[in-house]
Chains A and B, each alone.
Chain A
């Protein structure tokens, strides 16, 4: 039936083998895209008329910031699916997302801070965008802390899933913070309904980087998911078979 593929995703051995098969595809295509994006962004793209060469940090900063939101959304949806359908694999996906998302958030905050010093004249301000992104980092860290504080996996799954679902309200706040309130951070250049405020030779490398970062996230997620599934199913017989191959 139409839902068979969905029900099969609830089976840990199936997910383990699927992840194993898909990982290299995502890993290699993300490596190629990121290399192309870096070359386009750092070498081919012209400097900005005001920021000069310093604008090139956008090729790491903006994709990291987008990913920090995207990963959180994936994590919250997986957590909600895990809560509602009691699907163990969904909880495993959510748990695998958190450290990756936290790393992207940290990368966005650090690169933004390094850019802010020469351009704005400050490393850090309690601006709505900056503050809400910092709260996102604390949500990720809180999620990870809550998981590791609970010995029983099922209880950790449920408690942390509620935190993940509640925290998702921060995602639109981060995106719209620069439009709703007076903010030091500039409005979106690309993620808006209007056409991008950027010429094509600057935009294409940025989109390559975004796609590359997304596929990189999927590759890392699949690898982490395999580890997560193995540790949850360590007493199952299929694990012994899978590992003795």
Chain B
């Protein structure tokens, strides 16, 4: 075996070893790497009940209720399989709207309502000019902008990569 061949095997070996170690470590810490839990995971009891965690999903259509005279807002976060009601007081980001993704940080109370102290908007990967979005919206009878319609179909069909399946 030439020294060059030995060095080649050494480098490939180091790379393979480090890759396997990293893959195992990431698998072991799977839950800690997850940025948020989706409503199905919350329903399955995977989210902590006595600690703060992040809840992610779509804001359900027609679920946003504002309390007049205060910053309090109530809405439902859904992954199209399970729903979690959320209550939040504070300023919402610009991209917060029904049918869009959000990530809320807080804890579940005794009634199963998620009390959030921070709400972030999660943008999807679709980009389009306003005219196109309006045209697609018109075709759908003014119900749904295209991006969230596409995302909704995807979420119903499969554990969608956009909102992070499993």
Contact = CB atoms under 8 A, between A and B. Distances in A.
Interface of A: 46-51, 55, 58, 80, 83-86, 118-122, 125-128, 162, 165-166, 168-169, 173, 178-179, 181-184, 186-189, 197-199, 201-202
A44 B154 CA distance: 31
B14 A202 contact: no
Contacts of A127: 35
12 contacts: A49-B128, A58-B127, A120-B121, A120-B122, A121-B119, A169-B18, A182-B38, A182-B56, A183-B35, A183-B164, A186-B122, A202-B128
B132 A84 contact: no
Contacts of B14: 162, 165-166
Contacts of B26: 173
B7 to A, nearest CB: 5
Contacts, number: 131
B15 interface: yes
Interface on chain A toward B: helix, strand, loop, or mixed SS?
A: loop
Contacts of B114: none
Given A125-B35, A169-B22, A189 B11 contact: no
Contacts of B75: none
B8 A181 contact: no
Nearest to A192: B125
Given A162-B14, A169-B18, A199-B128, 8 more contacts: A46-B129, A49-B130, A85-B4, A120-B93, A120-B122, A169-B22, A182-B34, A199-B127
